[in-house]
Structure 1
């Protein structure tokens, strides 16, 4: 199984960090590519993060309310081969 990193996206040109507002999935749950797994926000925008691959969400690295730098890994998916 390959591991796929889910990263904090850059929602705007000046965005340096984002806040995790909600996790739609829990660690251990199966996810489908394109399924919403989390909601994040910047100072101006709120956005949904979708699973990049089918697989299992094996680890959530940041809790709700955490402010995370753009590009940092927030979760790990164990992708199906």
Structure 2
């Protein structure tokens, strides 16, 4: 099994941190590549985080409401590969 970090994306040129608005999946849920798993926002933009691969969302590293630096892992997905 392979573990993939889901990272806080950079939604805008000046974005340094983002807030997790909500998790659409919870730890233990299966996910499909391209499926929305969370919603995040910067000072100006709101965006969806999609699963990068099929697998299982094994761990959520930051709860909704948390502010997380761009590029930091917010969750871990485990794949069959």
TM over 0.5: yes
Summarize deviations over 1:32-77 as a string: whole Å, max 9, x none. Answer: 0000000000000000000000000000000000000000000000
Aligned runs of 1:1-80 on 2, under 5 Å? 1-80=1-80
With the length of structure 2 as denominator, give the TM-score of the two structures.
Answer: 0.99
Q: CA deviation at 1:25?
A: 0.2
Task: Measure, in 2, the Cα distance between the counterparts of 1:76 and 1:70.
Answer: 16
With the length of structure 1 as denominator, give the TM-score of the two structures.
Answer: 0.99
Q: CA deviation at 1:80?
A: 1.9
Superposed structure 1 runs of 4+ greater than 4 Å apart:
none
Give the match's secondary structure for 2:37: strand
- For structure 1, the residue ranges without an aligned partner over 5 or more in a row are none
Count of aligned pairs between the two proteins: 81
